[in-house]
Amino acid sequence: MTHEFDTIIAIADELEISRQALNRKAKRLNIDLSKKSFTDKEWQLLVSNKRKPKKSTSSNYVDTFTAQQLAEKDDLINYLKSQIKEKDKQIDHAQQLQLIAEQRLTETNKTLIEYQEKENQPKKGFWQRLFK
């Protein structure tokens, strides 16, 4: 059985390789592409040498590296979240202390005002205090 094609590009498309790669492969295997018709043996040689996509170790490295970076970023995010929670607690505590300080200041001001009012009242003598 023969395999016939109209163009060299059709052969390259069938093999899923570029035209330049097909020309290099045919030259290496001593196959004449100009006839555009191939015997089963020639066709099997062209097909069997079809490159298979390699699993790149660099892509595995990139995947591992990316996963490691993501894990580090997740750890950093969790750490920062805990820091934010801690700072929120500190802010709440500071606000409570500020409120307590303001309340004490208000009480102290009221007490001071009461003492000032007592000071501003005319002093009663001994006999006036005794005989109200």
pLDDT digits (tens, 9 = 90+) for 88-104: 999 999 999 999 999 99
CA distance 127 to 130: 5
How much is the pTM?
Answer: 0.41
78 in the same domain as 44:
no
What is the residue range of 98's domain? 74-120
Evaluate whether residue 84 is within a structural domain: yes
Report the pLDDT value the prediction gives residue 18, as an integer from 0 to 100: 87
Report the pLDDT value the prediction gives residue 2, as an integer from 0 to 100: 75
Evaluate whether residue 21 is within a structural domain: yes
80 in the same domain as 42:
no
Report the pLDDT value the prediction gives residue 91, as an integer from 0 to 100: 96
* H and E: helices and strands count for the chain: 5, 2
Evaluate whether residue 37 is within a structural domain: yes
The predicted-structure confidence for 27-83, as pLDDT tens digits, reads as follows: 888 888 888 788 888 888 888 755 555 555 666 777 888 888 899 999 999 999 999
Number of domains in the chain: 2
